[in-house]
Amino acid sequence: MGVAPKTEWISCKYLTARGGGTVAGCIACMEFMLAPHDLNGNNPDSDKRPELVSNSYGGSHQVARERALTAMLAGGVEMVYAAGNSGRCNTIGFPARYDNALAVGSLNRNANTISSFSSRGPGLNGSLKPEISAPGGNVRSTSNRGGYATLSGTSMACPHVAGAIALLWNAHPELKRKIKETREILYKTALQQESTLCSSRQSSPNNVFGWGTINIEKAVNQAETVQILDSVVDLFD
């Protein structure tokens, strides 16, 4: 179900039934994603690593987790994070707050307005956060209790972006694991939403919407144009 319904999917559980977890458990799951292994922890195989991981959890700043995030990106695994639900300036939570994390803000239902609960930037050292926004208010989705439920939160917006990246990579397989290039296309094709709030250095991009509302159709078309231009350059090289 959802944005990219035919996507192959795996998961790793480190949170307890009450939602708590440890940094060590989080990193263990990241290690599993980077090189999936069997139930006994043996036979890791990096060829089976996913192309991207959708993350909806928070925590404090931990150097070990930041290093693990860097390792995931170096391994060609995109890491998409829910920005958080504090709804105020300077409340992007960790690990979404890290400079190299792709943080996602939430939009209201059927509107390009920011959700009241969506956490805002800036990020570390005044960096832009979130990077992009997607629908997260009153989203109808599957429920772990069976059937469907309507939920709100940046945890509903985050998988929209993960699914959009999956669609982009399905349309343009040559972009898979090229995280820098993929992000540039997503940012440049986003529908700009202006704001000067939350210490934003300019109206767009800003620390409320990031680069704006994700636009997967435009992103796919932009990638097509980039490929054509690259081919033209190759002819003249």
Confidence (pLDDT) at 80:
98
Q: Would you say residue 231 has pLDDT above 80?
A: no
Per-position DSSP letters for 44-72, written without gaps between them: --GGG--SEEEE---B---HHHHHHHHHH
3-state secondary structure of 164: helix
Q: What number of CA atoms fall less than 13 Å from residue 231's CA on the CB side? A: 6
Confidence (pLDDT) at 227:
60
DSSP 191: B
Confidence (pLDDT) at 17:
77
Confidence (pLDDT) at 54:
95
3-state secondary structure of 142: strand
Strand partners, 5: none
CA angle 73, 143, 40 (to 5 degrees): 50
pTM for the full predicted model: 0.91
Query: Could you identify the residue written with the tokens 């860097």?
Result: 70
Q: Would you say residue 14 has pLDDT above 80?
A: yes
The residues, any chain, with a CB within 8 Å of residue 130's CB and separated by 6 or more, are 83, 92, 96, 103, 104, 105, 118, 119, 120, 121, 207, 209, 210
How far apart are alpha carbons 28 and 68 in whole angstroms?
10
The percentage of residues in the chain with a pLDDT greater than 90, rounded to a whole number, is: 74
User: What are the start-end ranges of the H helices in the chain?
Assistant: 23-34, 63-74, 154-171, 179-189, 216-236
Number of H helices, E strands in the chain: 5, 6
Q: Pick 188 or 22 by higher pLDDT.
A: 188
How far apart are alpha carbons 162 and 152 in whole angstroms?
17
**Six token digits for residue 10:** 């795996």
Domain topology for 52-58+76-236: Rossmann fold (3.40.50)
Strand partners, 106: 134
How far apart are alpha carbons 137 and 117 in whole angstroms?
9
Mean pLDDT of the chain: 91
Q: Would you say residue 232 has pLDDT above 70?
A: no
Per-position DSSP letters for 106-167, written without gaps between them: EE-TTSSSB-TT------GGG----SEEEE-SSEEEE-TTSSEEEE-SHHHHHHHHHHHHHH
8-12, 124-128, 232-236 — which is least confidently predicted?
232-236
For the segment 62-78, the average pLDDT, to the nearest whole number, is 94
How far apart are alpha carbons 214 and 104 in whole angstroms?
10
How far apart are alpha carbons 201 and 99 in whole angstroms?
16
Q: Would you say residue 236 has pLDDT above 50?
A: no
